[in-house]
A and B are shown apart, each in its own frame.
Chain A
Amino acid sequence: MAHIDENPLGRHLPLDPLPGHSSRGRLERVLRRGEFAVTAELNPPDSANPDDVYERAAIFDGWVDGINAVDASGANCHMSSVGICALLTRMGYAPIMQIACRDKNRIAIQGDVLGAAAMGVTNIMCLTGDGVQAGDQPGAKPVFDLDCMSLLETVRTMRDNSKFLSGRKLTTPPQVFLGAAINPFAPPYDFRPLRLAKKIEAGAQFVQSQYCFDVPMFKRYMDRVRDLGLDEKCYILVGVGPMASAKTANWIRNNVPGIHIPDAVIKRLEGAQDQKKEGKQLCIDIINEVKEIKGVSGIHVMAYRQEEYVAEIVHDSGVLKGRTPWKRERNPGDDTVQQRIEDLKDGKTENQEQMAETAAHHPH
């Protein structure tokens, strides 16, 4: 039987857009169908080897609905999110491309959005990004030309109005599902739900939260979110992840901005025989608690340097309810590539004079 998110005419064909959907992506399909979505974060390699990306993505095969390609998270230098997305879309994965406002101005960002959509990226997540001071190169010049809110609005305008920020027309708008980040665990707590409202107004269709270790605090946040009716306007994915040890948790608490870890979590990890196993169990327990909260549409698993546990965590928490997320899909650009490979095989070479002649007579 064909997978529900496959083209009924064959797996090798690209998906048709559904009415009311803003992208052709499967993450949007899963969320709009009301299924519990699972996304994971790919640890970006510090190398120029594409196999590093493929290996890290293969771990998630068949377990997640989307893979986040992070944009120098924590202001530490890694392979760029555009590069990772280029590789992943080529192999038929569905990345969620993160764009941070720290490193690029509005000109670069709008160009990247078009490029990404052309490569087959269907999900874009708009972030402000950590300050350069948090990273390995604190002397870098912080850009922050846009902020996450104006970035959301920019991409939304590009998609819905086919226009750049300047008002110049786009011939083909980028069809993307727009995401944003939320952090319910940082002050000012009473403003946080309103900030989500603002992000939705600016264009956010789904949000992924910061690591959730304090479920009661998250519940209070969600109460307010439901009061404002925001859970109906936006899909909320809760950020979860295993902690390798109490020491790591302590380090994160003291050094990574914006992550709130209550004392009880550290105590629980410290008390365990096998801290790594306990960290995983804690993550599963949190998933089981948050998945019951009304308005939560999925989880976002951030298992930094423990990516191999994602499958286990997803399996043990049973969030997929027997559903198998699709594996790899066909990229809309595959036909062109295939044509070119066949031409090469047939020994067909390009005649540049002929090509110039054709181009001259058929501009675009």
Chain B
Amino acid sequence: MTRSVWSRWSRPGAGTMSDLKPADKPVKGNAAPAKKATTGAYTPSGVSPNRRARRSYTIRLWSVRHSRFLEWFYHRFADLFLLLHPLWKALGYNRVEAPITFVERNVKGLLFDCRMCGQCVLSSTGMSCPMNCPKQLRNGPCGGVRANGNCEVEPDMPCVWVKAWEGSRNMVKGDAIMNVQKPVNQSLRETSSWLRVTAQAAEAKEAAAKDA
């Protein structure tokens, strides 16, 4: 793996290591802002110096636009998962954790650019993943949102909270955006939030059955 990455750099004609060194003369234009920023040159405020900010946000924005559908879908899906609780229990939650996490990471990664915080709040944030906020705010937009609705830190990215607000307006339970979220529990990173929610729901159901 390492080898193939390296060979891409060393392939003739595809640029050599010397290209990565700071240029002697000042870089003009903003075609490669990341490269320009490494030289210590002034990079205008309207251009993201990092590469991640220049990716496309098409699918993430699609998810926000279709937040109502995704909300409906998730409810069906969560019910299904809960129905399968005996199966998870039989197999052992610990044992299914790894494969489910793999699926969850890839599905949510595609749809929401999920960061696997392990404590999903998409239902409360209009299907816009708050962990994509450079400040990882989980309670609403900061004061730095640009007039065009883009992020202050990554100027090319639409503010996830502007999108969250839009998305939440389409959802049946969109007012969940008003809940004050607890701080992130960092120890839950890279774990499956689907399984946790299912286990908790099953526990609550059992407790309710016991009370009755």
Contact = CB atoms under 8 A, between A and B. Distances in A.
* A and B bind: yes
Contacts of A258: 142-145, 152
A181 interface: yes
Interface string A338-354: 00000000000000000
A257 interface: yes
B180 A202 contact: yes
B183 A145 contact: yes
A259 to B, nearest CB: 9
Interface residues of A, number: 40
B195 interface: no
Interface stretch (A86-94, A192-200, A274-282, A321-329): A192-200
Contacts of B7: none
A210 interface: yes
Contacts of A181: 143
A146 B180 CA distance: 12
A102 B134 CA distance: 11
A195 B141 contact: yes
A257 B146 contact: yes
Contacts of A187: 141, 145-149, 159, 162
Nearest to A201: B180
A36 interface: no
Interface size on B, as a range, is 20 to 34
B139 interface: yes
Interface string A197-211: 110011000000010
B152 to A, nearest CB: 4
With most chain A CB atoms within 10 A of its CB, the pick from B134, B135, B162, B182 is B135
B68 interface: no
A41 B33 CA distance: 35
A81 interface: no
Contacts of A191: 140-141, 161, 165
Q: Dominant SS at the B interface?
A: loop
Given A146-B183, A198-B180, A254-B45, A188 B135 contact: no
Given A133-B153, A153-B180, A254-B45, A147 B141 contact: no
Contacts of B153: 131, 133-134, 257
Nearest to A260: B147
Contacts of B137: 128, 144, 147
Nearest to B179: A198
Interface in B43-86: 45, 49
A210 B146 CA distance: 14
A118 interface: no
A197 B179 CA distance: 11
Contact of A183 (B138, B143, B182, B183): B143
Contacts of B161: 188, 191
A133 B155 CA distance: 11
Contacts of A153: 180, 182
B20 interface: no
Contact of B135 (A128, A165, A255): A128
B151 to A, nearest CB: 9
B182 to A, nearest CB: 6
Interface in B150-200: 152-153, 159, 161-162, 165-166, 178, 180-184, 186
B180 A130 contact: no
A106 interface: yes
Interface in A151-203: 153-154, 165, 181-183, 186-188, 190-191, 194-195, 197-198, 201-202
Contact of A149 (B144, B159, B181): B181
A14 interface: no
A260 B135 CA distance: 21
Contacts of A128: 135, 137, 142-143
With most chain A CB atoms within 10 A of its CB, the pick from B136, B161, B165, B183 is B183
6 contacts: A130-B144, A153-B182, A165-B183, A187-B145, A187-B146, A258-B142
Which 9 A-B pairs have CB atoms at the shortest separation, nearest pair first? A183-B143, A257-B144, A149-B139, A257-B152, A258-B144, A131-B153, A186-B145, A258-B143, A150-B183
Given A128-B135, A149-B181, A198-B140, 14 more contacts: A134-B144, A149-B139, A150-B180, A183-B142, A183-B144, A186-B143, A188-B162, A190-B165, A191-B140, A195-B141, A198-B180, A210-B143, A255-B45, A258-B143
